Amino acid sequence: MSNLVYVLNGPNLNLLGQREPHLYGHETLADVEAQCRAVCDNQGLEQRFHQSNREYEIIDWIHEARDNAFGIIINAAAFTHTSVAILDALTAFEGPVLEVHVSNIHKREAFRHFSYVSQRAEGMIAGFGIQGYALAMQRMGKLYRDR
């Protein structure tokens, strides 16, 4: 079985470190990728890291993961609260799915409290800044070893 984990990031996460640093911090998406890679190396995993502002690309990557990945870590960003299409794609994926949010979505505007992704995800990490990605990757390593 593949040890590959897709790390998928939705709209505006390319602006991480620049956009609303009081909410999202000063670390960049490149920092997230490097942090995830370090955890992967420690957990015996590989990663494929993507970001897009386009919903269809995220869906295409989820479809691609069906054929070659053990798991998916996803921060769908604003698509979390709006995309039935991403939920449908995740439902077609048979491996574990972990949801990550840099901020605590439950302390924000009411519309952010609902997550379509959570309808499929085995777990969610929210409000730990970019450290949430590393925590999710550690969990993915445990799930991989226990399979």
pLDDT tens-place string over residues 25-46: 789 999 999 999 999 999 999 9
Question: What mean pLDDT do residues 4-25 have?
Answer: 90
Q: Are 79 and 13 in contact (CB under 8 A)?
A: no
Per-residue pLDDT at 38: 97
Fold of 4-146: Rossmann fold (3.40.50)
> Which one of 6, 101, 133, 144 is the catalytic residue?
101
Confidence label for 102 from pLDDT (cuts 50, 70 and 90): very high
| Domain map (residue ranges) of the chain | 4-146
Q: What type of residue sits at position 103?
A: S
Taking the CA atoms of residue 10, residue 12, residue 13 and residue 17 in that order, the dihedral angle to the nearest 10 degrees is -170
| 17 pLDDT above the threshold of 70 | yes
Q: Is 133 considered catalytic here?
A: no
Instruction: Please give the span between the terminal C-alpha atoms of the chain, in angstroms, as a whole number.
Output: 10
Q: From the candidates 24, 116, 133, 144, give the one annotated as an active-site residue.
A: 24
Question: Helix, strand, or coil here: 142?
Answer: helix
Predicted TM-score (pTM) of this structure: 0.94
Q: Give pLDDT tens digits for 38-68.
A: 999 999 999 999 999 999 999 999 999 999 9
- Token pair listed for 103: 């901020």
Instruction: Determine how β-strand 46-51 pairs with β-strand 4-9.
Output: parallel
